[in-house]
């Protein structure tokens, strides 16, 4: 496919040519040589202390620019040997930067508290107030210099469970072939599995389901061993750093109390009746005697072929976010018209989608647009990240310009929710009934997959970590049993929980990044609450949200969301999201006529 220049991102906005990149590469190397001069000197005087912080920020801003440019050049064409070499050099330089600056935090924490307090009276340190507060928050969990070095040296060993899982899951597993709905033989892959599960032919869904999970089941003890090793690693690091549990250690980075995690699970648990209602409604609409796990992904609206070329997706998104005001819309339009986006799939290009932002330049989006609703929502999602990065970069210094994942996923989901609410509002129940059912189903699936399913994952993580922390073995039998019980609870009596789904835990890569998945559920909950405020309260809610975007990572996530109008320390945002889910169910029941 030939992709026009206007549909590619313009990396010349970062560097006009490789010579400019080489200059910054060399500048990073030069600044690194200066960093060593500050080691063991931070406590000498305010000038030394400030000089180290200022130099570190300079180096980090430059290395992000150098590294991101090289990675994006590679993402344009992964087969390009010049891009491979460029990225290899950038990655090596990044490692050197991390090593060279690693002395700063331990050395700050080794200084007498009064020394740092005296330095902070200097007005130059106002910029670093939140940064230093966060460094000292880590003091109870920071080791001596020698101990930190020893822990750092365990990194290559403790990555083994992740590497083992990735190689086994992505390289070594092969799945059987099945017959598709045209009786053609097709190999089941992780890439086409969901598409096969959406097939209206139930035989195809059943055979794909059996093929995938049957393959995992043959290696259940191997996958259990890999997950067990990852959990032991989590417990080891939590213990070494004097955290109460692996979960406490994981939540510590974003300063999230365990009560937030527990409240999410408890609130979702107490509202599982709505999830059960959705499963029963799905069963009725599909006309099934029994609903099985392989029936979950089938679209509820038949024969809706909605082709959405990119210009139409842009128009839809602009209409959806118009409530944010003219200035917001102007920035979004400028980005989409100024080659922030690398739009279409082509040979060698990295798959998927992401948004990256270069401080002092602008955000960049990688898409692989496919002219469908999924791609339209991916555009909305990544532009939500882009606008967040843009606003925070305009208002914050580099060190606070990138928000934490906990809040970043809120901004992207706000965009998706605004787009969906606009589409639901402008799609006629009578004249576009099938399309309306399609949209309601699509939105309900976002809630099912992001709020309910990710909370179930979060509960599974909590269960298996606590069992391991109590010294009990995580056998494949226990993992399957725990997972089966959760699926039964979350899907209700109207669902036949097939034995094959008991192996789903074996294919979830996020379980190797402990206690991460709950952020998807809290992100959706916060976003739904913010969107409802924006749509019902207008300007005051919009202004609070824009202020939230402006603040980037300058405070802890819960504080930033509180100021935006969402208290994630309470159950209310999660309950609000479930209430919206319930309202969508009411609409689908009425429209489908089978409630």
Task: Please identify every residue annotated as catalytic.
Answer: 382
Q: What would the two tokens of residue 135 be?
A: 């460094």
Question: Can you give the three-state secondary structure of 251-314, one letter per residue?
Answer: HHCCCCCHHHHHHHHHHHHHCHHHHHHHHHHHHHHHCCCCEEHHHCCCCCCCCCCCCCCHHHHH
C-alpha 206/C-alpha 178 separation (Å) is: 10
Which H or E element spans position 496? strand 495-496
Beta bridge partners of 355: 365
CA 30, 554, 254, 256: dihedral to nearest 10 degrees?
Answer: 170
Q: What would the two tokens of residue 9 be?
A: 């991102």
Phi first, then psi, for residue 178 (nearest 5°) are -130, 175
Longest CA pairwise span in the chain (Å):
77
Distances from the Cα of 315 to the Cα of 215, 311, 324, 368, 496, angstroms: 44, 6, 15, 18, 42
- DSSP 8-state class, residue 171: I
Q: What would the two tokens of residue 233 be?
A: 């690693």
Distances from the Cα of 553 to the Cα of 98, 256, 413, 567, angstroms: 20, 14, 18, 17
Strands 354-357 and 363-366, by their bridges, are antiparallel
C-alpha 265/C-alpha 270 separation (Å) is: 9
Distances from the Cα of 369 to the Cα of 10, 205, 311, 372, angstroms: 17, 26, 11, 8
**Do residues 364 and 335 make contact, with C-beta atoms less than 8 angstroms apart?**
no
**Do residues 367 and 378 make contact, with C-beta atoms less than 8 angstroms apart?**
yes
Residue written as tokens 């590619």?
8
- DSSP 8-state class, residue 403: P
**Do residues 249 and 557 make contact, with C-beta atoms less than 8 angstroms apart?**
no
Distances from the Cα of 365 to the Cα of 80, 93, 219, angstroms: 20, 24, 38
**Do residues 530 and 414 make contact, with C-beta atoms less than 8 angstroms apart?**
yes
C-alpha 404/C-alpha 556 separation (Å) is: 8
Closest to 380 (Cα-Cα) out of 337, 448, 319: 319
Helix (H, G, I), strand (E, B) or coil at 70: helix
C-alpha 168/C-alpha 222 separation (Å) is: 9
């Amino acid at each position: 496919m030939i992709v026009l220049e206007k549909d590619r991102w313009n990396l010349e906005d970062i560097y006009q040519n490789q010579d400019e990149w080489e200059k910054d590469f060399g500048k990073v190397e030069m600044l690194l040589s200066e960093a060593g001069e500050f080691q063991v000197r931070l406590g000498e005087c305010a000038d030394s202390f400030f000089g180290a912080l200022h130099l570190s920020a300079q180096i980090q801003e430059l290395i992000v620019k150098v590294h991101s440019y090289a990675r994006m050049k590679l993402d344009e064409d992964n087969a390009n040997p010049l891009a491979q070499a460029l990225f290899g050099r950038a990655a090596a330089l990044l490692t050197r930067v991390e090593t060279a600056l690693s002395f700063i935090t331990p050395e700050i924490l080794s200084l007498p508290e009064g020394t740092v307090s005296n330095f902070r009276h200097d007005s130059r340190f106002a910029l670093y107030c939140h940064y230093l507060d966060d460094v000292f928050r880590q003091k109870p969990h920071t080791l001596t210099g020698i101990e930190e070095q020893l822990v750092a040296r365990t990194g290559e060993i403790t990555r083994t469970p992740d590497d083992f899982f990735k190689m086994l899951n992505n390289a070594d597993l092969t799945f059987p072939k099945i017959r598709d709905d045209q009786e053609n033989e097709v190999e089941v892959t992780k890439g086409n599995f969901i598409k096969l599960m959406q097939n209206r032919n139930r035989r195809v869904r059943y055979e794909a389901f059996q093929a995938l999970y049957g393959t995992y089941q043959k290696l259940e003890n191997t996958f259990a061993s890999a997950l067990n090793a990852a959990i032991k690693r989590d417990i080891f690091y939590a213990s070494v750093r004097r955290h109460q549990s692996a979960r406490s250690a994981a939540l510590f980075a974003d300063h999230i109390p365990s009560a937030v995690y527990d409240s999410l699970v408890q609130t979702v648990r107490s509202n599982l009746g709505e999830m059960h209602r959705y499963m029963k409604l799905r069963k009725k609409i599909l006309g099934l005697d029994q609903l099985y796990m392989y029936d979950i992904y089938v679209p509820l609206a038949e024969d809706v072929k909605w082709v959405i070329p990119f210009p139409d997706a842009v128009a839809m998104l602009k209409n959806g976010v118009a409530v944010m005001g003219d200035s917001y819309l102007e920035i979004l339009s400028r980005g989409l018209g100024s080659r922030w986006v690398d739009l279409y799939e082509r040979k060698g290009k990295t798959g998927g989608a992401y948004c990256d932002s270069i401080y002092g330049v602008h955000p960049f989006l990688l898409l692989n647009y496919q002219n469908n609703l999924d791609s339209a929502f991916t555009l909305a999602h990544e532009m939500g990240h882009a606008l967040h990065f843009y606003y925070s970069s305009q208002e914050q210094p580099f060190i606070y310009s990138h928000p934490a994942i906990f809040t970043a996923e809120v901004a992207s989901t706000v965009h998706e929710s605004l787009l969906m609410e606009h589409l639901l509002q402008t799609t006629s129940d009578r004249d576009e009934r099938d399309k309306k059912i399609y949209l309601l189903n699509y939105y309900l699936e976002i809630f099912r997959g992001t709020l309910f399913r990710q909370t179930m994952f979060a509960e599974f993580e909590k269960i298996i970590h606590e069992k391991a922390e109590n010294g009990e073995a995580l056998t494949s039998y226990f993992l399957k049993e725990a997972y089966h019980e959760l699926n039964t609870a979350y899907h209700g009596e109207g669902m036949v929980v097939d034995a094959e789904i008991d192996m789903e835990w074996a294919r979830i890569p996020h379980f190797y990044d402990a206690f991460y998945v709950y952020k998807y559920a809290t992100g959706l909950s916060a976003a739904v609450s913010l969107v409802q405020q924006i749509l019902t309260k207008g300007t005051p809610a919009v202004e609070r949200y824009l202020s939230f975007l402006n603040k980037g990572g300058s405070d802890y996530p819960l504080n930033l969301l509180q100021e935006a109008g969402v208290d994630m320390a309470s159950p209310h945002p999660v309950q609000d999201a479930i209430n919206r889910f319930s309202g969508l169910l009411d609409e689908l029941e009425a429209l489908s006529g089978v409630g």
